[in-house]
Amino acid sequence: MSYKVLLISDYSVREAKGESNFRVLENCGCELKVVQDMVGYSFDQVDEYFRRMETSGADSIKENPDVVAAMEDADIVITAFSAIPSNGIRKAKHLKAICVMRSGAENVNLDVANEYGVKVLNAPGRLAVPVSEYTVGLILAEVKNIARTHAHVIVGDYKDREYVNDSYCFNICGKNVGIIGCGAVGSRVARVLKAMDANILVYDPYASAEKMEALGYRLVDLNTLCRESDIITIHFRLTPETKGMIGEEQFKLMKPTCYLINTARADIVDEKAMIDAIVNRKIGGAGLDVFHQEPLPADYPLFNLPNVTLSNHRAGFCSDIFDITSKITIDEIRHYCETGELIHTVN
């Protein structure tokens, strides 16, 4: 069966010259149409657009009338960062699916999609490789003082220095690494650190105890993980259940030499409790790529501390991320054309 596929070409699609990736869908009988969005936007405008959409939803974005008009005859809509106008869903005559080329689906008002019987799909696992590799790098940067050493060398301070964590600047080998969330990203981090001879502890209510045991990991409850880990790294999605799950109680359980790493979502951790734990050395240190407010305010209390490594929400970046993501979406649509089955639905 042939489907009309609408690709919304936003800033990210144009930057990657990615429209051509989707021409392959024409080989399986699809009719591809492209509509432009975010035309003339600067990087800062795109950043502001995306942050507003993530925090306030798709309907907080002013609808693009060209997108609404193009959706009217579409069977399938593909978007990367563009918000899908709810008005477009309402006016679409035979829309069956919206494919979001991200791990989340903040681009779409799911209530409206459900009301009109439209399935929303994401691209799970698209960031598994870059985020897992970045996480391991951030762990090593913090534990081994790599970023701090670099900062001193570039200003000509080449002498051997004392660092606040000299007494626990340890090797990964033989240490307990707690993985909070052993999905696509967490499982890759676990495999890499297991290869470095770490002991892997996992907290994940959805993980199979038999599978974890077969991999040589130990499935534990959250408080046990916090109590026993030398490094804790977070890889859950943000949901009502995971919001604030690492709070004052968990920080009290952590070793004073424990490192907390977060490349997932800031709101999984209670910010006040985390800042208190880092500033007052209740834990050994932290490596953070996500924050409750981005960009960070000038008076952010973790700036210039000797026991924290900060990066600017960069874990998911790699030069070929668009090709990785578009392949996941293309494979999904191909499968749908062949079988009528949608796999990665979020509603």
CA distance 19 to 33: 10
Contact 116, 338 (CB under 8 A): no
Nearest in space to 236 (alpha carbons), one of 214, 262, 217, 254: 262
> Active-site positions?
265, 294, 313
Bridge partners of residue 181, in order along the sequence: none
The structure tokens 């439209």 sit at 118
CA distance 140 to 226: 19
Backbone angles phi and psi of 209, in degrees to 5:
-60, -40
Task: State the greatest distance between any 2 C-alpha atoms of the chain, in Å, as a whole number.
Answer: 70
- Torsional class of 43: left (φ above 0), alpha (ψ -120 to 50), beta (otherwise): alpha
The structure tokens 């996941």 sit at 328
Which amino acid does the sequence have at 327?
A: K
The structure tokens 């959250």 sit at 222
